[in-house]
Amino acid sequence: MFTGDKRQVEPYDFLYYYSPSIPYDFPKERIPKNLCEKQLLLVFKCFLDYPKKSEDVRRARHCQKFSIEFNECKKRRDMDLYKEIRAWEEERVKNLKPELRAVYVNALKEEVSDLRSNFEQIPATDQNANKRWRINADILQTQWRIRYTEELLSKLVEQ
């Protein structure tokens, strides 16, 4: 689990950070070029190359520097992606006809409602933990999108 210190990262921590979900019509060219594949491969390589007979804890400590590098790369990538999603969506909303802007926000609110309904229908078991975690992350991201879109709309109305 995450220890609180940004530099002190346990090897499996990167599994607990959710990355943004890409909106279905988000342009590919706005996705960051560095997706941290190299850093992830170094983590995997370290774990695979370390003697199998050793304790998991010892192997994890040995590979920790690669995990830290991957985690930092992933955080930067995700922040860049969140910025791109927001910039793209703000441009998109500004270019909508005024009467369609509220429809857009309502569609996002319906998406949250659908996600919540889906979340509640999935049993809270170990088998479903990752799926529920991902849906919850999507709920939080969509709520974030609603917040900044509504802020933008209120600014546009003031103008």
Q: Quick one: 103 and 159 in the same domain? A: yes
Q: Which of the 8 DSSP states describes residue 19?
A: P
The pTM of this model reads 0.80
Q: Quick one: 1 and 77 in the same domain? A: yes
CA 98 to chain centre: 30
Does a structural domain hold residue 74?
yes
Boundary-marking domain end, from 49, 83, 117? 83
Q: How confident is the model at residue 27 (pLDDT cuts 50, 70, 90)?
A: very high
Structural domain total, the chain? 2
Dist. CA 39–CA 120, nearest whole Å? 35
pLDDT digits (tens, 9 = 90+) for 28-79: 999 999 999 999 999 999 888 877 666 777 777 888 899 899 989 998 999 9
Does a structural domain hold residue 15?
yes
Does a structural domain hold residue 89?
no
Boundary-marking domain end, from 20, 55, 83? 83
Does a structural domain hold residue 90?
no
Does a structural domain hold residue 54?
yes
Q: Which of the 8 DSSP states describes residue 52?
A: T
Q: Phi/psi at 109 (nearest 5 deg)?
A: -65, -40
Does a structural domain hold residue 110?
yes
Q: Quick one: 79 and 100 in the same domain? A: no
Does a structural domain hold residue 64?
yes
Q: Tell me what pLDDT residue 12 has.
A: 46
Q: Which of 95, 83, 91, 94 has its CA nearest to residue 144?
A: 83
Identify the domain containing residue 103 by its residue range: 96-159
Q: How far apart are the first and last CA of the chain?
A: 47
